C-alpha cells in the first residue's frame, strides 16, 4: 500500500479513538467564553471582544446548572475611572451528549453590574438569558464549542416595544468556548 494511504488510515484511527474516549459526558466544566455581539460584526468593529468564564455542574446526563461572568467589551467600552460592565448569569442547562457532539440549551436570569476599584453596583435590570450551542468533545478532558446567546430585558420591552428592534443585535452574542471537562 501507499505510505500516504497508511498515514491517512492511522490518523483516522487515532482521531476515532480520541472521539470514543471523549464520548463520556462531563460532570463538571470550567470554560472560557470569547464572544462578540451581532452589532459589532455588522459594524466590523472587532475590538468589541467580550471575554468571560463559566462554571458548569451536571446533576445527571442531560441536566445541569451553570454560572458565568462576562466583561462586556472591556477593551472598547471600559467606562471612565476604571469602571467595567459585567454580565453575570445563572442558567439551567439541558443537554444531550451524542459522544463527539453535545447540543445544549440554557435558560436563566442574568444581571448587569458596574465594577469599580472600591466596589460594585448592580444596574437595575433583570435580564432573561437564553443560549443554545454545540460542544465538540475532542478529547476526554477538552471540548470546544460555539453558541449564540440572547439577553432579553422584559421590563424595557413591556414599557417600550420599539426598543426591541434597536437592541436585538446589541443583546445577541455569538461565542466560541473552550472547556476543561472533569
CATH code of the domain in which 71 resides = 2.40.160.20
Q: What is the pLDDT of residues 59-111, one digit of tens each?
A: 999 999 999 999 887 777 655 667 788 889 999 999 998 878 899 999 999 99
Model pTM?
A: 0.80
Q: How far apart are CA 119 and CA 13, in angstroms?
A: 54
Residue 56 structural domain: 3-181
Q: What's the structural domain count of the chain?
A: 1
Question: How would you classify the pairing of strands 50-58 and 63-71?
Answer: antiparallel
Q: Is the dihedral of CA 25, 134, 44, 168 positive or negative?
A: negative
E strand or H helix that includes residue 31: strand 28-37
Amino acid at each position: 500500500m501507499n505510505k500516504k494511504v497508511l498515514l491517512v488510515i492511522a490518523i483516522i484511527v487515532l482521531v476515532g479513538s480520541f472521539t470514543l474516549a471523549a464520548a463520556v459526558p462531563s460532570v463538571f466544566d470550567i470554560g472560557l467564553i470569547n464572544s462578540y455581539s451581532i452589532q459589532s460584526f455588522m459594524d466590523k468593529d472587532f475590538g468589541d471582544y467580550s471575554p468571560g468564564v463559566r462554571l458548569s455542574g451536571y446533576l445527571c446526563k442531560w441536566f445541569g446548572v451553570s454560572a458565568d461572568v462576562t466583561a462586556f467589551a472591556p477593551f472598547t467600552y471600559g467606562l471612565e475611572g476604571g469602571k467595567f460592565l459585567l454580565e453575570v448569569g445563572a442558567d439551567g442547562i439541558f443537554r444531550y451528549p451524542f459522544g463527539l457532539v453535545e447540543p445544549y440549551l440554557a435558560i436563566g436570569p442574568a444581571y448587569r453590574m458596574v465594577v469599580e476599584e472600591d466596589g460594585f453596583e448592580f444596574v437595575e435590570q433583570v435580564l432573561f438569558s437564553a443560549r443554545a450551542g454545540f460542544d465538540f468533545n475532542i478529547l476526554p478532558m477538552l471540548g470546544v464549542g460555539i453558541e449564540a446567546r440572547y439577553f432579553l430585558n422584559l421590563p424595557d420591552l413591556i414599557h417600550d416595544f420599539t426598543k426591541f428592534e434597536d437592541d436585538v443585535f446589541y443583546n445577541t452574542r455569538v461565542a466560541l468556548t473552550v472547556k476543561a471537562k472533569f
